[in-house]
Amino acid sequence: MSASKERLERLLERLVQASVLERVVISVAALLAAVLVGGVLVFVSGGIASCRTGLELAGTTFCYNPMQVYYELFLGAIGHPLEGGWSPTNYSLARTLQQTTLLVFAGLSVAVAFRAGLLNIGTQGQLVFGGLATAVTVVYAATIVPGGFIGTIVLIPLGVLAGAVVGGLYGALPGVLKAYADANEVITTIMLNFVATGVTSTMLSQWFQDPNSTNPRTERIPEYAEIPTVPYVGFGGSANFSLLALGFAVALMVGIAWLFARTSFGYELRTSGTQPAAAAYGGVDEKRMTVASMTLSGALGGVAGAFWVLMVHGSWLENVPSIGFDGIAVSVLAGNNPIGVGAAAFLFGVLDSGGNSIGTSTDVPPELVGILTGLIILFVAMPEFFRMFGRRFVDLETTRPARADGGDADAAAETGGDTDE
């Protein structure tokens, strides 16, 4: 074995076995490194831009101030709290929390599949189908359900349920193909994203297009069917964000963490992802677990689509943003930890809202803002990516095969090697 290969294996092993505190320190260091590199990039880019005023240095005018850019990126995302007249319910913070809420659902969708040892690249397609199902269900149900408060408490859960069911069924499809036809779930989920876009577009044009709109969209759901804001302490309706939605996302995040840690289903799901041979020895039905985990993953993607309709737009639009794809990066950044998904989603929300603030307060072009935010995501996510990558190759001495039927885990460990052969 070459010296370089040994060093690489030791590095991967060190990353895999890093404690939670060490991983937090690595992420913070990566964020600081990204800020430093991004600041240099912004400053140098300002040297080739045209402007009337800027920093004169060695006969060159540097147009962009990196400090101002980062000020807008991080503090602009929450409404400039250091300036006078700041309100905790300002529009910028609402946009940040709106994106955080949607990305929690999408990140959880990807994380569930990852924890089961599957790569669900199809959250975007499940979100698209789930959102359309929510809009259509609520619009048609509103014709028979009374309005007002009764309509709110009936139509919102009904819409979320419709999105979850349809998203779950669409997620189950690559799960079935994986379990019973040995189809690669990465390829099938990527292809199903394109299928979802094409099929929903056709369904919209044929049956669900709003006749009163020239834009490709469904009819608007009734106002009382949108997720309500919290009176007095919440954000205004124009912000398209509700603290109730964020509260539901946090509750779901905790619920998924509890599912992983405290239930037999979560135990089987985790074991299938980390120790498939030991899981099979312990009685876990691999095919059933594959379909079940992909169904749950798809349902969470469908919920993301439901909240996109019920909280943000009030109807389903053909041009669905790439929330599902962003969920992949959120899950990787969080190390597939359901609680970590919340923190990662908030970072993405800050970058989205802060990028918008840079665009309105500085002359920095949006392309450079995109590179800057992408650089931060890349730097922060790469350690967790290599850690996940390393788990596939590093032999952890502390790993113990376990029985899913409640049998003796240590006994399983002693015989696990024979079983694998």
Q: Are residues 53 and 188 in the same domain?
A: no
Q: What is the pLDDT of residue 88?
A: 87
Q: What is the pLDDT of residue 293?
A: 94
The pLDDT of 198-214, averaged and rounded, is: 95
Q: What is the pLDDT of residue 396?
A: 54
The pLDDT of 202-221, averaged and rounded, is: 94
Under the banding of pLDDT at 50, 70 and 90, the label for residue 269 is confident
Q: What percent of the chain has pLDDT over 90?
A: 57
Does residue 82 fall inside a structural domain? no
Contact status, residue 277 vs residue 401, Cβ threshold 8 Å: yes
Angstrom distance (rounded) from CA 353 to CA 327: 17
Q: Are residues 319 and 354 in the same domain?
A: yes
Does residue 406 fall inside a structural domain? no
3-state SS track over 68-121: HHHHHHHHHHHCCCCCCCCCCCCHHHHHHHHHHHHHHHHHHHHHHHHHCCCCCC
The pLDDT of 354-363, averaged and rounded, is: 88
* pTM given for the model: 0.87
The answer for residues whose C-beta is within 8 angstroms of residue 187's C-beta and 6 or more apart is: none
Q: Rounded mean pLDDT of the chain? A: 87
Q: What is the pLDDT of residue 303?
A: 97
Under the banding of pLDDT at 50, 70 and 90, the label for residue 394 is low
The answer for residues whose C-beta is within 8 angstroms of residue 313's C-beta and 6 or more apart is: 240
Please tell me whether residue 220 adopts helix, strand or coil conformation. coil
Phi-psi region of 56 (alpha: psi -120 to 50; beta: other; left: phi over 0): beta
Q: What is the DSSP letter of 284?
A: -
Bridge partner list, 57:
60
Contact status, residue 119 vs residue 186, Cβ threshold 8 Å: yes
Does residue 80 fall inside a structural domain? no
| CATH code for the domain of 283 | 1.10.3470
Q: Are residues 346 and 373 in the same domain?
A: no
Angstrom distance (rounded) from CA 310 to CA 228: 9
Angstrom distance (rounded) from CA 8 to CA 248: 42
Angstrom distance (rounded) from CA 140 to CA 145: 9
Q: Are residues 211 and 356 in the same domain?
A: yes
Q: Are residues 143 and 192 in the same domain?
A: yes
Does residue 405 fall inside a structural domain? no
CA 154, distance to chain mean position in Å, is 27
Q: Are residues 350 and 382 in the same domain?
A: no
Q: Are residues 116 and 35 in the same domain?
A: no
Give the model confidence (pLDDT) of 179-190 as tens digits.
999 999 999 999
Contact status, residue 235 vs residue 328, Cβ threshold 8 Å: no
Q: What is the DSSP letter of 55?
A: E
**Which of 2-16, 79-93, 223-237, 397-411 comes out lowest in average pLDDT?**
397-411
Q: State how many domains the chain has.
A: 2
Does residue 212 fall inside a structural domain? yes
The answer for residues whose C-beta is within 8 angstroms of residue 106's C-beta and 6 or more apart is: 123, 127, 300, 301, 304, 323, 324, 326, 327, 330
Give the model confidence (pLDDT) of 300-314 as tens digits.
999 999 999 999 999
User: Encoding tokens for residue 24?
Assistant: 């937090």
Cα–Cα distances (Å) from 337 to 110, 331, 361, in that order, read 11, 8, 35
Inform me whether the pLDDT recorded for 367 exceeds 60.
yes
Q: Is the model more confident about 421 or about 209?
A: 209
Q: Are residues 121 and 196 in the same domain?
A: yes
Does residue 135 fall inside a structural domain? yes
Inform me whether the pLDDT recorded for 21 exceeds 90.
no
Q: What is the DSSP letter of 145?
A: S
Under the banding of pLDDT at 50, 70 and 90, the label for residue 411 is very low
Does residue 254 fall inside a structural domain? yes
- Name, of 20-34, 166-180, 225-239, the range with top average pLDDT: 166-180
Inform me whether the pLDDT recorded for 413 exceeds 80.
no
Q: What is the pLDDT of residue 389?
A: 73
The answer for residues whose C-beta is within 8 angstroms of residue 45's C-beta and 6 or more apart is: 64, 368
Inform me whether the pLDDT recorded for 417 exceeds 50.
no
Instruction: Indicate the helix (H) or strand (E) that contains 56.
Output: strand 55-57
Please tell me whether residue 377 adopts helix, strand or coil conformation. helix
Q: Are residues 36 and 56 in the same domain?
A: yes
Inform me whether the pLDDT recorded for 419 exceeds 50.
no
Q: What is the torsion angle, in degrees rounded to the nearest 10, for the CA atoms of residue 228, residue 233, residue 237 and residue 238? A: -150
Q: Are residues 164 and 39 in the same domain?
A: no
Q: Are residues 233 and 347 in the same domain?
A: yes
Q: What percent of the chain has pLDDT over 70?
A: 92
Q: Is the model more confident about 81 or about 58?
A: 81
Does residue 404 fall inside a structural domain? no
Give the model confidence (pLDDT) of 121-138 as tens digits.
999 999 999 999 999 999
Q: Residue 252 CB: number of other CB atoms within 10 A?
A: 17
Q: What is the pLDDT of residue 406?
A: 46
Under the banding of pLDDT at 50, 70 and 90, the label for residue 332 is confident
Cα–Cα distances (Å) from 376 to 23, 27, 32, 158, 386, in that order, read 16, 11, 9, 38, 16
Under the banding of pLDDT at 50, 70 and 90, the label for residue 415 is very low
Please tell me whether residue 319 adopts helix, strand or coil conformation. coil
Q: Are residues 228 and 344 in the same domain?
A: yes
Under the banding of pLDDT at 50, 70 and 90, the label for residue 108 is very high
Q: What is the pLDDT of residue 238?
A: 78
Contact status, residue 221 vs residue 135, Cβ threshold 8 Å: yes
* Residue 182: domain span: 91-361
Inform me whether the pLDDT recorded for 414 exceeds 60.
no
The pLDDT of 1-27, averaged and rounded, is: 78
